Structure 1
């Protein structure tokens, strides 16, 4: 995804146009995904981990947004809590992310892929990959 790609929302009006950066969709999707019960955390990259250690919260951690010719594709990388149903959590994440993005931006999401990358066990609190 190129840095300068923006999503156009609606048609240009006499007042101007509205464009949304993909990073905005990543933040919206990240917040919506972490609201689902059973999601322990989101998986980020090294830079997001360092930023969190320095006290900066990264809401887009674990989210990847791609602009394709067919539409917008969202990938969500989660660590879930042990004892929850993975298919149920994944479906709730898809619904929550789709609803949040469509309500806040009026952008239709083609697909939302949920990738389970780990399990947070309640017994010892460690992450199991």
Structure 2
């Protein structure tokens, strides 16, 4: 269901994908967020070259407002409660500012942890000749 706002001269309809994209961009802008978790279908779409900015966002809109679920991957060492609060605040503020839609809930689901890749060190023992 799209977000609909009735105005004096007509109405404004905002597609769910637009709201989901705003949420996804706001969430990934937070330090400690490695990315969104879109599941198998989202992963296949990205392999095929289609980048979905709403990946990892589940959205429900009703007469009370928007209920948002974000599925995220965080960086190793991130303090999850602090990052989750920051994401909730930024997503809510971004959506309300850009769309005037009431955001009732922003639920955070941590789906994984991104570990730093091991680097090839020059100081590895080499074979002696």
**Shorter-chain TM-score above 0.5:** yes
Which ranges of structure 2 fall in alignment gaps of 5 or more residues? 120-129
Q: Please give the per-residue CA displacement for 1:61-86, whole angstroms capped at 9, x wherever unaligned.
A: 11000124532100011110011100
1:28 is matched with 22
Q: Please tell me whether residue 45 in structure 1 is matched to residue 39 in structure 2.
A: yes
Aligned pair partner of 1:7 in 3, 22, 34: 3
Please identify runs of 4+ aligned residues in structure 1 that moved more than 4 A: none
Q: Number of residue pairs matched?
A: 119
Q: Please tell me whether residue 84 in structure 1 is matched to residue 106 in structure 2.
A: no
Q: Using the alignment, how far apart are the partners of 2:62 and 2:39 within structure 1?
A: 23
Give 1:66-85 correspondences, 5 Å limit. 66-85=60-79
- Higher Rg: 2
RMSD: 1.6
Give 1:98-117 correspondences, 5 Å limit. 98-117=92-111
Distance 1:54 1:115, change over 3 A: same
TM-score relative to the length of structure 2 = 0.85
Please state how far the C-alpha of 1:46 moved relative to its aligned partner: 2.1
Which ranges of structure 1 fall in alignment gaps of 5 or more residues? none
